Each structure stands twice: as structure tokens, then as C-alpha cells.
Amino acid sequence: MLIGSAGTAGADAQVDWTLDIVNEIVREAGVKVRTAVIYAEQVKDTLIELFRQQRIKPLDAAPYLDEDTIKGSAHMVGMMGAEPLQKALAEGVDFILAGRCSDSALYAALPILHGFPEGLAWHAGKVVECGTMACETAGKGIMFVRLRHDHFLVKPFGQGLRCTPQSVAAHSLYENVDPFHFTESSGTVDITEATYEAIDPITVRVANSHFQPADSYTVKLEGAELLGYQTIIIGGIRDPFLLRQLDSWLANVRTYIEETIARVLGSQVTKEDYHLVFHVYGRDGVMGALEPEREVIPKEVGIVLEATAATQQLATIIAQLSRQPLLHYPIAEWRGATTTFACLHNPAHIERGPVYRFNLHHVVIPQSPLELFRTKFVEIGRTVLIDVNQGVSR
């Protein structure tokens, strides 16, 4: 059994968390399980060294990268290919728990180790990596693949589930930029010529999937950096006089907030120290700049104000200073004191804690497929964790 990308991101803490859960389960079952735990989190100094050696390359649409980006990251992981899994499988373990890992590698590792064609093994992995989503309609059940040297058969087990040539072919579109080429660490899976054939009402035969080995082996990097701490205010506006001038009103509110912050907090806080975003639901809250019907005047809008700053305290102060302008910034149509914003909560603000953004979309060209990953072999189950091999696997 293989589990990859433990805890979703596959950082070290998430691997350990998942290991605890597995340990609890196998103890209850009263069995012993020889386990390989493969960590994928990256050490900053190592990556800085690789960056200096120009062994880190950007992928399409990658953000800017320099040594400070690496130093400023909260967590960075490398996406392992089949090789670290194969090394553990060769040790004869019962169970592999991996950090960040190519989903398809979990399925492709064993057959490739046994000499099956890589194109078919990887393609089969791609088809089943999301479970029954490759069925006509996804549902409760599992996917079963019978891999042979010139084709594979894929069928679901579960009530009412069916794989059809179209459903299997269509799954290769899901969450991929290119539906025909999938870049893995060791090369590119090319399914341009793949054929899909129904052999019974629920089983599909797939053939002609190819694999092009890479010129140089790569490990994809993923990383996140702290944007700051965030405090938000949620509310709404229903006044039609205000809604027909919402853009200029929000611009005025923003200016007023900025002036208030400058007045109250003085020179200790500049405009670069915080970030204010108004999400306007009912107008362009969901699509933002991509909204095609931006000119329609809505009947009502929901507003989420996000204040982000280096500390939670500052973010909250800024949100608090934003409340009054939102509540009372006047419009010309009404005379006298008005309340322009319907707060959802009291206190109006909610502290969200730290917020992050993705900061890496790069690959490393390592010296070996195993270089960036650390494997430990443990026995879990009936007894407490015993580290039978603390050595770092390279």
C-alpha cells in the first residue's frame, strides 16, 4: 500500500500526522507493518546552493525567484517521482507513506519496477489517481486496473459505476494544462495516440500510450510564503443610490481609511505596511477582472474587506479603522447622518490568522532522483515506533 502527498501538501509535519493516524489503525488491527516514510520537505540551504549552481529552472508562468524567495518561504516541498517509491518497494516494505509525490507515480512505481512499459504504467496511474472520477458518473467505489505489456484494462467496482472510452479519455483533461502530455520527473507521458475501446459495459481497454524519457531528471518544487496576518469585515449594501456609484464611493472610502490610518498611526505605518482588498459579491466578487458583466448595477452587494499586515494586531487595527468609513461615508443623494453599510457581525471584524501565497513554480535538476528525499524505515503497529534505519537515504 502506498500513500502519497500525505495531508494534501505533503510537508513533513503532515507526513508525521498521517503516520500517527495509520499507526492508530494498525494497532487496533493488531498487526505489524514494515513501513517506509519518505519525506519531501526541502531544506533552504540546500535549495539556495542548487539555485547558485543554476540547477533550479522556472516553469511556465513561474513567479520571480531569487535567494530571498527561498529564505522567505514558510514551507517548500519537492514532488517525488517513482524512484524514491521504487527504492522503498525494493526493500520489501508493506507500506509506503510519502510526502509530496506525483499522484500517478504511486501506481506507476511498482509496474515500472517489474519492467512494464512506462507509457502504459503512467497512463494507468493518471486514469485512476482520482478514483472513480474517471467513470461516467463518479460515485462510491474503487478503480481496478489490469496492466499487460501492450495495453491496460480499467474497470470500476461500485454500484452503477461505468468506465466508457469517453469517460476515461476525458479524465486526462481534469486539472491539467495539456490533456495529451504529462510531465513527470523522469520524462513525459504522451497519450496523443492512445486508443480507448469498450470491452464490456463498464471496462475500457487502453493502448498506445507512450513515454518520452527526459533529457535531464527534474523534481518539481512547490512552496508557500507568508503574505501576512489578516483581519476581515463582512457586510452588505442595499441602497440603490449608493450602488449606482459604488466604484467612486469605494474609492472615497479607501482614501478616507488610508488618511485615517496615517493620522492615527502616524509615521510608524506607511501604505506599504498593509494591504486592503474589497471583494464586492453581487458585482464582480467571484470573477474580479474577468467579470464580463461588470456594468450591471446590482440590487444588493456583499462586501468582504480584507486587511493584511505584518502582524495580526496591525491588521485588526486597520480593519477597525475601516469600519467607520464603511458605515458612514456620505453620498450626495441623502442629507444628514446615514449608515451606508450593513455589518454582519459585532464586533465587525474577524481575525483570520496567517495567510500564505504560492511562491514557487520551478523544477530542480538534482544529481540523482533520490537526492531531495529522505527515507526512514520503521515498523508500526503492535509495538511503539522503532526506527530500524535512521540513516538518510540518498
Cis peptide before 117 (omega within 30 of 0): no
Q: Kindly state whether residue 170 participates in binding another protein, applying the rule CB under 8 A.
A: yes
By rule CB under 8 A, what string of x and - marks binding of each residue 357-386 to another protein? xx--x-------------------------
Return phi, psi of residue 226, to 5°.
-70, 125
Residue nearer to another protein on the CB measure, 158 or 285: 285
Residue nearer to another protein on the CB measure, 286 or 388: 286
Return phi, psi of residue 97, to 5°.
-115, 115
- Altogether, the residues listed in the chain come to a count of 394
Partners of 376 in the β-ladder: 37
Q: Kindly state whether residue 172 participates in binding another protein, applying the rule CB under 8 A.
A: yes
CB atoms within 10 A of CB 24: 11
What's the Cα-to-Cα distance from 275 to each of 82, 285, 319, 348, rounded to whole Å? Answer: 42, 17, 11, 18
Least distance in angstroms from the C-beta of 290 to another protein: 6
Distance CA 333, CA 275 (A): 30
Contact with another protein (CB under 8 A) among 31, 52, 149, 166: 166
Distance CA 388, CA 49 (A): 31
Residue nearer to another protein on the CB measure, 285 or 330: 285
Contact with another protein (CB under 8 A) among 47, 70, 153, 169: 169
Distance CA 280, CA 326 (A): 13
Least distance in angstroms from the C-beta of 29 to another protein: 35
CA 3 to chain centre: 17
Q: Kindly state whether residue 334 participates in binding another protein, applying the rule CB under 8 A.
A: no
Q: Kindly state whether residue 295 participates in binding another protein, applying the rule CB under 8 A.
A: no
Reduced to 3 states (helix: H, G, I; strand: E, B; else coil), residue 328 is helix
Return left, alpha or beta for 227; rule: phi > 0 is left, psi -120 to 50 is alpha, else beta.
alpha
Least distance in angstroms from the C-beta of 176 to another protein: 6
**Residues in Cβ contact with 242 at an 8 Å cutoff, skipping those fewer than 6 apart:** 249, 331, 340
Return phi, psi of residue 204, to 5°.
-120, 140
**Sign of the C-alpha dihedral computed for residues 15, 21, 22 and 24 taken in this order:** positive
Residue by residue, what is the 3-state secondary structure of 264-320?
Answer: HHHHHCCHHHEEEEEEEECCCCCCHHHCCCCCCCCCCEEEEEEEEECCHHHHHHHHH
Residue nearer to another protein on the CB measure, 60 or 150: 60
Contact with another protein (CB under 8 A) among 51, 116, 256, 356: 356
Least distance in angstroms from the C-beta of 303 to another protein: 12
By rule CB under 8 A, what string of x and - marks binding of each residue 182-211 to another protein? ------------xxx---------------
By rule CB under 8 A, what string of x and - marks binding of each residue 62-101 to another protein? xx--------------------------------------
Least distance in angstroms from the C-beta of 390 to another protein: 34
Least distance in angstroms from the C-beta of 8 to another protein: 13
- Which one of the spans 85-93, 208-216, 280-288, 314-322 is the region binding another protein (CB under 8 A)? 280-288
Residue nearer to another protein on the CB measure, 90 or 177: 177
What's the Cα-to-Cα distance from 387 to each of 118, 223, 267, 377, rounded to whole Å? Answer: 33, 29, 55, 6
Residue nearer to another protein on the CB measure, 195 or 252: 195
Binding residues for another protein (CB under 8 A)? 59-63, 165-166, 169-170, 172-180, 194-196, 222, 224, 227, 275, 277, 279, 285-290, 292, 306, 308, 355-358, 361
